[in-house]
Amino acid sequence: MTLRDDIRAHRSHLLIAAAGLSVAVLWATVVMLRPLPPRTVTMVTGPEGGAYYEFGKRYREILARERIELRLQPTAGAMENLARLNDPRSGVSIGFVQGGTTSEKDSPELESLGTVAYEPLWVFRRSALPGRGIESLRGRRISIGPEGSGTRALSLELLERNGIDQRFAELLALTPQAAGEKLLTSEIDAVFLITSSDSPVVRRLLADGNIELTNFPRADAYVALYPFLNKVVLPEGVGDLAKNRPPTNIALLAPKASLVVRKDLHPAIQYLLLDASVQIHSGPGIFRKPGQFPAAESIDLPLSDQALQFYKTGRPFLQRYLPFWVAVLLGRLLLLLLPVVAILYPLVRFVPALYGWRMRRRIYLLYGELRFIEHALEASNVGQDVSDLVAQLDRLEEKADRLQVPLFCADMLYRFRDHVTFVRGRLERPKEQT
């Protein structure tokens, strides 16, 4: 085999090894990487007509622009949302969750994308009722929301804190619309609602002169007892300026709603949801300032890695300038290529060094044989036949003549030939007598 053939074979072996290693890295990267984003995801929203459901419709419109179908599942409210999100068999990946309804321990597979809105607690009552505040509702007929709603969970907690439970009041599981109608016709005495100020039920009850909105003068005490609650103020006259409804500023209690996802929801979908949340929730409102929401707040659940990154730097670089699916595919391609480049680059730099080492090693091996002949000569007796050593040296010199090396090794080969000549001279010169 000529040197050129040897070089080619050597390089081929290295290239095959590099290609095999690259394939292995590609396979491992594909296995570890998430698949492409799903085309369809499901969100739980709360009852139709409620604030959660209206938010869900807007998310659906925005995701549809990127060819992602967002399926909405109406529920009784935040507690049912939470139950479905926690159930891996439900097929639900996204939902709104009311603050104070869960924890990281109770929902280990869920993460938050941040808070998106205040959810005021409205306690409406008939104006003719004596007394003020929640404590005055003892013995009354009160709607606290249907089973599975966040309204019911918070209402029961606050009523119990004021010494009212099933023994001291008739607690009804009515929907907001049904409860509002019954309150207006005096069939019930009070209604607890957690919904936005834009809710038709809230608007209607605020404007009615026979209905009174309960003030929470001890709102700070409730916030101290329940850190997930916030104190918000409904301005005087905001319900109806002509009738000055409500007639004074009203202090309300308000948990915050979080946009919650399962941990296995694809990161690209999470970024789409975060971008949509800015479009939907960042505007001003009665209880919020422009840009206050969405907020990087982890009330009950930790923020996802994507949410943390989004609130620091915004959308991923590629998604800012490219269509969603192009950005996703290009980002995936880069993730696949980076480890391959990281392995091939040092290999390409290592190949010439390895080749040079192999060429020098061949000359070093020749030196080893030459040294063996020299040692044999030194160990021989005076007058002893050294023809075998001469024949070995001839073969060694012939091997050196056939050896072809690159220019950077040529000086070593020339020096080796000089050393062969020196040893040959010693073989041909009679050993001095002692």
pLDDT, tens digit (0-9, with 9 covering 90-100), for 338-394 = 666 666 667 666 767 777 788 788 888 888 888 888 888 777 776 667 788 888 888
Specify whether the backbone of 232 is left (phi greater than 0), alpha (psi in -120 to 50) or beta.
Answer: beta
Task: Inform me whether the pLDDT recorded for 99 exceeds 90.
Answer: yes
Task: Inform me whether the pLDDT recorded for 24 exceeds 70.
Answer: no
Helix axes 200-207, 176-184, angle to 10 degrees: 20
Please indicate whether residue 384 or residue 307 has the higher confidence score (pLDDT).
307
Mean pLDDT of the chain: 86
Task: Inform me whether the pLDDT recorded for 1 exceeds 50.
Answer: no
**Residue 101 is assigned to a structural domain of this protein:** no
pLDDT at residue 365 in the model? 86
**Residue 409 is assigned to a structural domain of this protein:** yes
pLDDT at residue 3 in the model? 42
The boundaries of the domain holding residue 9 are: 3-21+334-428
- Residue 18 pLDDT class (50, 70, 90 cuts): low
**H or E element: which one contains 337?**
helix 324-379
Percent of the chain with pLDDT over 90: 53
> Tokens 């009804």 appear where?
172
How many domains are there within the chain?
1
**Residue 370 is assigned to a structural domain of this protein:** yes
pLDDT at residue 204 in the model? 93
Other beta carbons within 10 Å of 268: 23
> Tokens 């001890």 appear where?
218
Beta bridge partners of 230: 254
For the record, the structure tokens of 154 come out as 């918070």
Q: Which of 404, 413, 332, 325 minimizes the C-alpha distance to 33? A: 332
**Residue 202 is assigned to a structural domain of this protein:** no
**H or E element: which one contains 269?**
helix 267-281
Beta bridge partners of 247: none
Distance of alpha carbon 303 from alpha carbon 301, whole angstroms:
7
- Residue 62 pLDDT class (50, 70, 90 cuts): very high
Q: Which of 378, 387, 380, 374 minimizes the C-alpha distance to 420? A: 374
Check: pTM over 0.85? Answer yes or no.
no
| Most confident segment among 67-71, 175-179, 328-332, 373-377 | 67-71
Task: Inform me whether the pLDDT recorded for 422 exceeds 90.
Answer: no
**Residue 364 is assigned to a structural domain of this protein:** yes
pLDDT at residue 302 in the model? 97
Q: Which of 196, 96, 76, 188 minimizes the C-alpha distance to 141? A: 188
Stated length of the chain = 434
Range with lowest mean pLDDT among 201-210, 226-235, 241-250, 374-383: 374-383
For the record, the structure tokens of 64 come out as 């549809």
**Residue 400 is assigned to a structural domain of this protein:** yes
Task: Inform me whether the pLDDT recorded for 20 exceeds 80.
Answer: no
Task: Inform me whether the pLDDT recorded for 90 exceeds 60.
Answer: yes
**Residue 406 is assigned to a structural domain of this protein:** yes
Instruction: Answer for the pair 126, 103: CB distance below 8 angstroms, yes or no.
Output: no
Distance of alpha carbon 68 from alpha carbon 337, whole angstroms:
27
H helix runs in 65-162, sequence order: 78-86, 150-161
pLDDT at residue 368 in the model? 86
Instruction: Answer for the pair 214, 220: CB distance below 8 angstroms, yes or no.
Output: no
125 phi/psi in degrees, rounded to 5: -145, 160
**Residue 52 is assigned to a structural domain of this protein:** no
270 phi/psi in degrees, rounded to 5: -60, -40
Question: What is residue 86's three-state secondary structure?
Answer: helix
Other beta carbons within 10 Å of 190: 24
pLDDT at residue 393 in the model? 83
Q: Determine the residue type at 358.
A: R
CA atoms within 13 A on the CB side of 336: 13
For the record, the structure tokens of 412 come out as 């070593």
For the record, the structure tokens of 225 come out as 């007892």
Distance of alpha carbon 127 from alpha carbon 239, whole angstroms:
16
Beta bridge partners of 117: 257
DSSP-derived letter for residue 240 is B
Q: Which of 225, 203, 199 minimizes the C-alpha distance to 213? A: 203
- Residue 28 pLDDT class (50, 70, 90 cuts): low
pLDDT at residue 2 in the model? 45
Range with lowest mean pLDDT among 103-117, 130-144, 397-411: 397-411
Range with lowest mean pLDDT among 186-190, 271-275, 390-394: 390-394
Please indicate whether residue 191 or residue 433 has the higher confidence score (pLDDT).
191
pLDDT at residue 196 in the model? 87
H helix runs in 33-129, sequence order: 51-64, 78-86
- Alpha-carbon dihedral sign for residues 304, 305, 308, 309: negative
